[in-house]
Amino acid sequence: MELSQLPLVLLLISHIHSGHTEETSKAKVSIKPAQHVFRGETVTLRCDIDGEGVISWQYSWYKDGSANAFSKLQEHTFSPVTESDAGKYSCYGAERGGSRSSNISDAVTLTVSERTKAKVSIKPDQHVFRGETVTLRCDIDGEGVTSWQYSWYKDSSGSVFSELQEHTFSPVTESDAGKYSCYGAEIGGSRTSNISDAVTLTVSHRAQTVLSVSPQKWLTEGDPVTLICEVYSSSTGWTFSWFSVTASPGNRYHYQLLSDSSRGAGGNYTVSSAALKHTGVYVCRAERGNPAYNTTYSNTQPVWVTGVSPQVSLVISPSRTQHFTFVSLSLSCEDQSNSDRWRVRRYTENEQWEDCSSLLWASQTGSTCTFIFTFTSDTGVYWCQSESGENYHPVNITVHYDVILESPVHPVTEGDTLTLRCLYKFTTPQNLRADFYKDGSLLQNQTTEMIISNVSKSHEGFYYCKHSERGESPKSWISVRASRSDDLNLMIIGVTAGLTVTFLITVFLVLLWRYRNNKGVRSQSPSSVSQQQNSSQTSEQNQSDGGYNTLLSGTGHIYDSVDATIKKDINTDSESGPTDLTYAEIEHKSTKTQMKKKENRGNNTESCDIVYSKLKLEMDQGAGSSDVTYAQVK
């Protein structure tokens, strides 16, 4: 029977032997090793039919719903399998030499893909340092594989040194450096991965941090500055910290962690507005991993901030920042109070903190440091330090053999004139005709001096001079500060704002006082004023008669006399009209005293202090009712 006649055969089978009551069997497809396989593997399709009483079946295989059978075997093998073999497979069985047949199976999908490739990763980085903890990991993306057995190889060796997915070196050493690859085989199966690409692990002796500063280390108050910390030849997974550095006698370093220096993975520490307190020497350090691995401290990086109006000035004689060798030099700390409490310190190019008094060819008297001879080793930053450790007015002093740049010691004020000269040690006069540079760019050539009028902030930078035969000078930093008019304007604005606030507060207090007084006037009735006046007059009369009312016996009295003189205005008529009435009430709380018995009084009363106010009115004759001011004291 031709395979192409299958639909007709199936139709006939469903109608013959209508009296037959046995249930028709259904074929079932299975695929080994898996439904998802890799190109190049061997794949077997198998058709199984559970039909009782059937000794032998003739099988038919179909792909993707096609009516044409491509195989008549119970098992069909693809070796090697390719992507073109992927598809949906079903099978059917017919009894050999009989009339029985199965139902066609459900379709089963075979997926064929490129063989998965193992992949190696290294944490924390491919470049690590001796002492760190390093983990190699092998990953294989193989669908349908629940478990892999891994094999690790080093430097293309055929020997497996580990069968774990992750292999850890703790601590790692230089001998662990090399090229690593891995491979995976299915546990309990036949599937395998391709071997991974080799990944190189580099192990260095010790991590080294490098600290730099941007835009530069010489600043004026208010300038922004950024400290940049990097780990040499490594950039992954680091966190950074910054420290200020001080030195004790003998140059033993002390590191103080900056309170806000933990900046995570970023290697920048930025100060948006530099202040005098930021003058100092800094280092940084990095760490990563768990347990944490710390780098060594970085190189030292000084930052020098000059004040707009420093409290203390470092006065240099001769007054310039560059000096010849084997000459005398004087440095003095001067302030407006007591200059004896300052000492001159320096930080040299070889990262040494030194007092003037400890130098071989220098001595300190009071706040003055005197060099008998200067040497190139005296190049460094000098400043004034107080007894409490405060640092002021850092100045970069350079000692050079023959050619130097004459430049101002103190910052130049905006709008002023800057004059630079190039000096040569062995000529008289010492002025050289030379070229002048700023930040590496030529500004003026073949001149004995360079003059910049109306200096602005843009003129700030490093300057030097160069002579074609004599050589070039060291670089000097020229700092430019805000003009005095700007400072004055800021002061005027501040004073004006303060006076305005004071005036507003004063007005508010006056209005409040008047409000409270007016409120008191409204609450006091004229009748009570009259009663108080009569009471006061009665008290005065009793006192003059040498006796007191029995209610007041044994009482201490304090009298306050308020005199009011009312005179007639010379411009008014003899019959003046009524005038305004004003009174003030003052409450004075009494203090209790001890109870005393008065034998010469009729009654015993509690002793208390009473304050009286007497109002005397003197009126010019012929005056009408006049303005009256009452003062009541309670």
What would the pLDDT profile of 202-221 be if each residue is shown by its tens digit?
999 989 999 999 998 988 88
Residue 108 β-bridge partners: 89
| 494 phi and psi angles, rounded to 5 deg | -65, -45
Kindly state the average pLDDT of the residues 226-235: 90
Burial of 584 (0-12, 13-18, 19+ CB in 10 A): middle
Any idea where the domains of the chain sit in the sequence?
Answer: 3-113, 119-204, 209-305, 306-481, 485-523, 526-633
Instruction: Give yes or no for residue 611 having a pLDDT over 80.
Output: no
Return the sign of the alpha-carbon dihedral for residues 310, 248, 257, 238: positive
Instruction: Give yes or no for residue 192 having a pLDDT over 80.
Output: yes
Which pLDDT band holds residue 437 (cuts at 50, 70, 90)? very high
- Whole-number pLDDT of residue 562: 39
Instruction: Give yes or no for residue 620 having a pLDDT over 50.
Output: no
Name which of 294-303, 381-390, 440-449 the model is least confident about: 381-390
Name which of 172-181, 436-445, 450-459, 625-634 the model is least confident about: 625-634
Which pLDDT band holds residue 489 (cuts at 50, 70, 90)? low
- Whole-number pLDDT of residue 252: 81
Name which of 68-77, 118-127, 289-298, 329-338 the model is least confident about: 329-338
Instruction: Give yes or no for residue 429 having a pLDDT over 50.
Output: yes
Domain 3-113 grouped into CATH 2.60.40.10: yes
- Whole-number pLDDT of residue 308: 67
Instruction: Note the Cα 403 to chain centre separation in Å.
Output: 44
- Whole-number pLDDT of residue 376: 94
- Whole-number pLDDT of residue 450: 95
- Whole-number pLDDT of residue 51: 75
| 22 phi and psi angles, rounded to 5 deg | -70, 140
Kindly state the average pLDDT of the residues 549-559: 37
User: Can you tell me the distance from the alpha carbon of 619 to that of 624, in angstroms, rounded to the nearest whole number?
Assistant: 9
Mean pLDDT of the chain, nearest integer: 79
- Whole-number pLDDT of residue 259: 75
In the block, residue with structure tokens 């064929």: 112
Instruction: Note the Cα 550 to chain centre separation in Å.
Output: 82
Name which of 202-206, 258-262, 397-401 the model is least confident about: 258-262
Instruction: Give yes or no for residue 609 having a pLDDT over 90.
Output: no
Instruction: Give yes or no for residue 224 having a pLDDT over 70.
Output: yes
User: Can you tell me the distance from the alpha carbon of 240 to that of 297, in angstroms, rounded to the nearest whole number?
Assistant: 11
Residue 213 β-bridge partners: 227
Kindly state the average pLDDT of the residues 523-535: 45
Q: Which fold has domain 119-204?
A: Immunoglobulin-like (2.60.40)
The CATH number of the domain covering residues in 209-305: 2.60.40.10
Query: Are 120 and 153 within 8 A, CB to CB?
Result: no
Whether 119-204 shares its CATH topology with 306-481 is answered yes
Kindly state the average pLDDT of the residues 10-19: 40
Instruction: Give yes or no for residue 64 having a pLDDT over 90.
Output: yes
pTM attached to this predicted model: 0.60
- Whole-number pLDDT of residue 118: 95
- Whole-number pLDDT of residue 339: 61
Provide DSSP, 71-95.
Answer: B-SSEEEESS--GGG-EEEEEEEEE
Residue 257 β-bridge partners: 243
Which pLDDT band holds residue 628 (cuts at 50, 70, 90)? very low
In the block, residue with structure tokens 């792909």: 63
Q: Which of these, 314, 335, 326, lies nearest to 382 by C-alpha position?
A: 314
249 three-state secondary structure: coil
Residue 62 β-bridge partners: 90
Instruction: Give yes or no for residue 398 having a pLDDT over 70.
Output: yes
- Whole-number pLDDT of residue 21: 44
Which pLDDT band holds residue 23 (cuts at 50, 70, 90)? low
Neighbour-count burial for 285-308, b at 16+ CB within 10 Å, e otherwise: bbbbbeeebebebbeebbbbbbbe
Which pLDDT band holds residue 627 (cuts at 50, 70, 90)? very low
Which pLDDT band holds residue 568 (cuts at 50, 70, 90)? very low
- Whole-number pLDDT of residue 585: 45
Query: Are 618 and 626 within 8 A, CB to CB?
Result: no
- Whole-number pLDDT of residue 6: 45
The CATH number of the domain covering residues in 306-481: 2.60.40.10
Which pLDDT band holds residue 584 (cuts at 50, 70, 90)? very low
Instruction: Give yes or no for residue 378 having a pLDDT over 50.
Output: yes
Which pLDDT band holds residue 298 (cuts at 50, 70, 90)? very high
Instruction: Give yes or no for residue 26 having a pLDDT over 60.
Output: yes
Kindly state the average pLDDT of the residues 28-40: 90
In the 8-state DSSP scheme, what is residue 356?
G
